[in-house]
C-alpha cells in the first residue's frame, strides 16, 4: 500500500486537501502528492485534516503532474465524466485487482482532478487507465475528498479487510454435539418430570426441540442458561 500515491491536481479548496489526507489516513494510506494546489499550506487544510496533519506534513508539492508521476510505472486517472478517449475505463475494484497483481516494487499513482474542471486532456493523456466510480448517471461527480475516500477504502478492503475493533459476540465459547445431546436428554427428563412430555405418547416433541436448538447456534453461556431453566422447572423454582 505504501507504493500507491494519491496525486491531487490543481486543488482549489485547501479544505479538500485536508479532508483527503484524513480520508487516506483512516484507511492506512499516507503517500500524498499535490500538484499546484491553489492555497497551500493552509490553516483550513490542517483543520480539515483533523489529526491527519502528519499526512499533510509529508505531502510532496510539485509544479506539474509530469513531475509528480515521473517515477511511477502505473498511472490511473480518476474521472467522473467518461470522455470518448481511447483509454480503458475501470471501476475502483477492477483497478485494485489489477494493482494487486503488479510486482511489489511498482510505483503506482492515482490522480484526482480539480473540483470544477477535473483533469485536462493533456493530464488524462498521461494516464494508462481511467477509474470511474460508478455513480448516479444524472449526478455522478463526487466531492474530491469523497472520491479519495472511496478509493482509499477499496484499497484497504483489498489489502487488509480485517476489522480493527472487537466484533460483538467474538468471545462466544462454542459447544459441541456432545453438549447438545446432554441438553436434549436434560429436556427430555425435565419435560417428563413436569408432565409436559408423555413418554407413552411423545409425538414429535423432542425432534421439534432438537430442530429449534440445532438452528439456534447456542454458545456455552446460553447452554448453561437453558440447563438452569430446566433445573428450576424441575424443582419448582427452588434451585435457581
- Interface positions with ligand SAH (CB under 6 A): 78-81, 112-113, 115-119, 131-133, 135, 140-142, 144, 147
Name the minimum Å distance from CB 134 to ligand SAH: 7
The answer to whether the Cα torsion of 134, 23, 120, 2 is positive or negative is: negative
Name the minimum Å distance from CB 7 to ligand SAH: 10
DSSP secondary structure letter of residue 135: -
- At 79, give phi and psi (nearest 5°): -140, 130
- HSE of 112 in the Cβ direction (CA atoms, 13 Å)? 28
Name the minimum Å distance from CB 42 to ligand SAH: 18
CA-wise closest residue to 56 among 11, 3, 110: 11
Beta carbon nearer to ligand SAH, 148 or 230: 148
Note whether 143 and 116 are within 8 A (CB): no
Beta carbon nearer to ligand SAH, 72 or 175: 72
Name the minimum Å distance from CB 205 to ligand SAH: 59
Beta carbon nearer to ligand SAH, 146 or 205: 146
Name the minimum Å distance from CB 76 to ligand SAH: 10
Beta carbon nearer to ligand SAH, 95 or 183: 95
Beta carbon nearer to ligand SAH, 26 or 141: 141
In the chain, what is the straight-line distance between the N-terminal and C-terminal CA atoms, in Å? Answer: 56
Query: Which residues contact residue 74 at a Cβ distance below 8 angstroms, ignoring those fewer than 6 apart?
Result: 99, 102, 106, 107, 108, 109, 128, 129
Amino acid at each position: 500500500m505504501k507504493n500507491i500515491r494519491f496525486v491531487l491536481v490543481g486543488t482549489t479548496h485547501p479544505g479538500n486537501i485536508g479532508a483527503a489526507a484524513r480520508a487516506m489516513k483512516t484507511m492506512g494510506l499516507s503517500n500524498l502528492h499535490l500538484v499546484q494546489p491553489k492555497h497551500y499550506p493552509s490553516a483550513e487544510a490542517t483543520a480539515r485534516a483533523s489529526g491527519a496533519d502528519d499526512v499533510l506534513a509529508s505531502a510532496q508539492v510539485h509544479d506539474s503532474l509530469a513531475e509528480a508521476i515521473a517515477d511511477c510505472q502505473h498511472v490511473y486517472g480518476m474521472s467522473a465524466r467518461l470522455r470518448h478517449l481511447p483509454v480503458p475505463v475501470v471501476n475502483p475494484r477492477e483497478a485494485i485487482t489489477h494493482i494487486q497483481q503488479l510486482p511489489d516494487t511498482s510505483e503506482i499513482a492515482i490522480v484526482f482532478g480539480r473540483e470544477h474542471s477535473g483533469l485536462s486532456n493533456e493530464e488524462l493523456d498521461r494516464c494508462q487507465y481511467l477509474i470511474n466510480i460508478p455513480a448516479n448517471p444524472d449526478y455522478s461527480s463526487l466531492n474530491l475528498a469523497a472520491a479519495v475516500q472511496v478509493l482509499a477504502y477499496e484499497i484497504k478492503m483489498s489489502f487488509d479487510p480485517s476489522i480493527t475493533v472487537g466484533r460483538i459476540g467474538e468471545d462466544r465459547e462454542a459447544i459441541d454435539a456432545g453438549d447438545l445431546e446432554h441438553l436434549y436428554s436434560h429436556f427430555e427428563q425435565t419435560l417428563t418430570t413436569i408432565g409436559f412430555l408423555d413418554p407413552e405418547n411423545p409425538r414429535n416433541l423432542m425432534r421439534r426441540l432438537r430442530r429449534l436448538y440445532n438452528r439456534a447456534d447456542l454458545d456455552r453461556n446460553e447452554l448453561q442458561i437453558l440447563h438452569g431453566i430446566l433445573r428450576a422447572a424441575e424443582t419448582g423454582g427452588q434451585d435457581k
